[in-house]
């Protein structure tokens, strides 16, 4: 999973975006393949996202599902 946080003008949008490991750009480009979910729902799917909720806009992470850790794409820092 690849997660990143964007600036959002909508107060109910926390800016987090999650893309699956197998999602290609072609797949993502099809609007019907994208789904907006409540962050609580994402926590139900993968509780590890609680460790990254407060990270700033511009954060870019990869999720290591074997180790259950997020890794900052720029710094290599791990978030559990």
**pLDDT tops 90 at residue 65:** no
**pLDDT tops 90 at residue 45:** no
Q: Residue 72's pLDDT is what?
A: 96
Can you list the positions of beta strands (E) in the chain? 2-5, 16-19, 60-64, 69-72, 78-79
**pLDDT tops 90 at residue 7:** yes
**pLDDT tops 90 at residue 1:** no
For the chain, the maximum distance between any two Cα atoms, rounded to a whole number of angstroms, is: 35
Most confident of the following: 7-16, 43-52, 70-79: 70-79
φ/ψ of 47, rounded to 5, equals -55, -20
CB 61 within 8 A of CB 52: yes
**pLDDT tops 90 at residue 12:** no
Q: Residue 11's pLDDT is what?
A: 87
**How do the domains of the chain map onto residue ranges?**
2-79
């Amino acid at each position: 999973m690849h997660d990143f946080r964007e600036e959002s003008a909508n107060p109910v949008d926390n800016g987090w975006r999650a893309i699956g490991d197998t999602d290609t750009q072609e797949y993502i480009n099809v609007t019907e393949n994208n789904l907006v979910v409540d962050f609580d729902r994402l926590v139900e799917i993968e509780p590890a996202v609680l460790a990254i909720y407060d990270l700033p806009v511009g954060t870019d992470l990869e999720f290591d599902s074997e180790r259950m850790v997020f890794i900052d794409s720029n710094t290599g820092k791990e978030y559990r």
